[in-house]
A and B are shown apart, each in its own frame.
Chain A
Amino acid sequence: MSSAIDGVGRSAASSAAPKTPLLRVEGLTVAFRKDGREVRPVENLSFQIGHHERLGMVGESGSGKSLTSLAMLGLVDAPGLHVSGALEFDGRTYDLGSEALRRLRGDEISIIFQEPMTALDPVFTVGHQLREAIRRHRSVSRGEGKRLAIEALAGVGIPDPGRRYAEYPHQLSGGMRQRVMIAIAIACEPKLLLADEPTTALDVTTQAQILDLLRELNESRGMAIMLVSHDLGVIADLCDRVVCVYAGEVVEDASLEMALRAPSHPYLEGLLKAMPRVGSRGTQLYAIPGSVPAPGAAPRGCHFASRCSYAEDVCAEPQVLLPSRTGGSVRCVRHGELDLVGVSGDPHRSPAS
């Protein structure tokens, strides 16, 4: 049985979300000034992640999802970018624009990136970098640090960790590097791991292995995961819940099952239709017409309206998040009237068993 089906099963079972989430992002806004006008690539974005949850954040390139994950750790430092909003983690509230987020980094929330190629320092050994992360968290001797580092390498499924410990990043394959990156990210035993397109640069086989590893870490350590990806297939493989982001806004928030089978927002429906799947050979692959508007260029009303085949006059009005019929929320005034089509079964692998 495919694991994505497991995910669907569990999320359905635990649909009663915990009272207090592990993390809540409130009104995250990233803004910069362009030609004297304030432009917001991410605007008033709010969502939450439960303890032990595996959340998928999906959206096309340019929808603001990577910026969101960076902003959550205070890592947005491009000159001129202004971050605001609040982040509540484990009962404490932080200002998203402040340096206080620093305290969360590594210890509470950690992050892995798309490019394992460049995310590691090329002139230090893998072991050195891992040991640094471990020793930041625990005051252990060098020798003990080394032992723990080798243990951590083994823990993320790296064969012959003793030898790999002394190697440099360029001596490892992309998949190995991503495993090392994960080992470094989880060295301080964070409660939440942000994974920003962690498998995009990897081949399909390695992709599946990395997702398996993330799932295993989630289950064995109870570490929550937020997977950011443009690939719904990857998200379907790992996550319990989906937050769909478009032009810097959350457009739909639903359990994985509902998101796949009964999307409430036309954009999510479009993403689902655009996924290639077994049996679609020979037919034209669907693509959502147009592209994500550049920051600041989105229509005043529903940001998706210009690309949406269901758009009507009401869509020119600013949209708010509404409760959806599937128990989540949706930013579409017409969602009640639309009967959108999802996919049946697991879109990533085989048809539903």
Chain B
Amino acid sequence: MFRSIVKRLLTVVPTLLLASIVTFGLLKLIPGDPATVIAGDNATPARLAEIRGQLHLDESLPQQYGRWASHAIRGDLGTSLYSTTKIATTIQARLPATLQITLGALLLSVLIGIPLGFIAGWRSDSAIDKAARTISTVGIGIPNFWLGMLLVTVFALKLHWLPAVGFHGITGGLGQTAKYVVLPAIALGAASIAETTRQTRSAVLEVRNKDFVRTLRAIGLPNRTIFKHVAKNIAVPVFTVVGLQASRLLGATVIVEAVFGINGIGSLVVDSVSRRDYPMVQGVVLVMALLILFVNLVVDITYRIVDPRIR
């Protein structure tokens, strides 16, 4: 098992290389010249050439990539074209907010989706199952910005239980952070909770009818033991879904951030793209790619721990 985990870790290297090349290359393919943007429409050709030289835009693509990548490895993602701030610093400032609502949403998916899906699958066609199916269909159908606005209206503006907008860093204490995270996490996570419930349910439904479950019952083992067996057997599909949700949530935060006025990564990307702030977009995409790579790695390693056939 240890060997296969090391092997899996090694596959990260080419994936990362590819991701960085794609990140770098994609932006180079987009029409529009950053030098023109910086210098303005009426700049002289000499001024444009000077800016290109400063930004190394006159070098060949592999050279530019090499320069960018070698800096990136050291944590230097360059400087924003728009302001003079370091990209790494900006991302560092914006990332916690996004991570907190993403993790909050993911936590809700796991804590609500898995148990609910388990019960629904075990007692299929019961009242609980029907309720779970209805709720999850609704959960998948509701747009997250609408749910976000609804939550703000009800819990912030009408009931005054929770703050309507903003974000509070973890340094201010967990209670404060949670207050700010709850509503965005629900708005962001509703679809994930629903999806996790549905997938867990169908996994349980499938495993429940397997021969080995009949064996466990046949030799008279109590339900407690049977649940344990079912739980370990559904682990692979369930972890897969949770992993997919994690990636999806990271990408979906942008709208929820807008609704709740949170300065996270999502809004940073949108702003940077509209400003043609190439290095910033590259930096953010690279960090996102890293996060998703990490999530997939964790999921894959979990597979190997849980299912001996994958080792």
Contact = CB atoms under 8 A, between A and B. Distances in A.
Interface stretch (B103-111, B260-268, B303-311): B303-311
Contacts of A105: 217-220
Nearest to B309: A170
Interface string A69-107: 000010100010000000000000000000000111111
Contact of B219 (A122, A125, A136): A136
B219 A184 contact: yes
A113 B215 contact: yes
A75 B217 contact: yes
B122 to A, nearest CB: 12
A185 B219 contact: yes
Contact of B211 (A119, A123, A170): A119
A115 interface: yes
A133 B219 CA distance: 7
B229 A124 contact: yes
B67 interface: no
A26 interface: no
A122 B218 contact: no
B233 A106 contact: no
A120 B309 contact: no
The interface centre, meaning the residue of B212, B221, B306, B309 with most chain A CB atoms within 10 A of its CB, is B212
Contacts of A136: 219-222, 225
A184 B220 contact: no
Given A121-B212, A122-B309, A123-B306, A111 B218 contact: yes
Nearest to B306: A123
B3 interface: no
B210 interface: yes
Interface string A10-27: 000000000000000000
Contacts of B216: 121
B130 interface: no
Contacts of A188: 219-220
Interface string A161-201: 00000001010000000000100110110000000000000
A121 B219 CA distance: 13
B273 to A, nearest CB: 45
Contacts, number: 76
A181 B212 CA distance: 10
A110 interface: yes
Contacts of B220: 102-107, 136, 188
Interface residues of A, number: 31
Contacts of B248: none
A193 to B, nearest CB: 11
A168 B309 contact: yes
B47 interface: no
A40 to B, nearest CB: 22
Contacts of A170: 308-309
B28 interface: no
B232 interface: yes
Interface string B100-127: 0000000000000000000000000100
B229 A121 contact: yes
Contacts of A121: 212, 215-216, 229, 232-233
B160 interface: no
B212 A119 contact: yes
A122 B215 CA distance: 12
Nearest to A105: B220
B56 interface: no
Contacts of B221: 106, 132-133, 136
A107 B211 CA distance: 20
A258 B210 CA distance: 39
A73 B233 contact: no
Nearest to A121: B212
Nearest to A170: B309
A113 B214 contact: yes
Contacts of B218: 73, 75, 105-106, 110-111, 185
A121 B221 CA distance: 13
A118 interface: yes
A207 B45 CA distance: 88
B215 A184 contact: yes
A120 B308 contact: no
A113 B220 CA distance: 15
Interface in B40-80: none
A183 B235 CA distance: 27
Interface in B169-189: none
Interface in B202-257: 210-212, 214-222, 225, 229, 232-233, 235
Interface in A124-150: 124-125, 132-133, 136
A103 B220 CA distance: 7
Contacts of B222: 136
A132 B235 CA distance: 20
B81 to A, nearest CB: 52
Given A105-B220, A106-B218, A121-B233, A132 B212 contact: no
Contacts of B307: 122-123
A123 B231 CA distance: 10
A106 B215 contact: no
A272 B309 CA distance: 43
A317 B153 CA distance: 77
8 closest A-B pairs by beta carbon, nearest first, are A106-B220, A105-B220, A106-B219, A118-B211, A168-B308, A121-B212, A111-B218, A119-B211
Interface of B: 125, 210-212, 214-222, 225, 229, 232-233, 235, 306-309
Given A123-B309, A133-B219, A133-B221, 20 more contacts: A75-B218, A102-B220, A106-B218, A106-B220, A115-B211, A118-B211, A118-B212, A119-B215, A121-B212, A121-B229, A121-B232, A121-B233, A122-B308, A123-B229, A132-B221, A136-B225, A168-B308, A184-B215, A185-B219, A188-B219
23 contacts: A73-B218, A110-B219, A111-B218, A113-B211, A113-B215, A115-B211, A119-B211, A120-B215, A121-B229, A121-B233, A122-B212, A122-B309, A123-B232, A123-B309, A124-B229, A124-B232, A132-B221, A132-B225, A133-B219, A136-B219, A136-B221, A184-B215, A184-B219
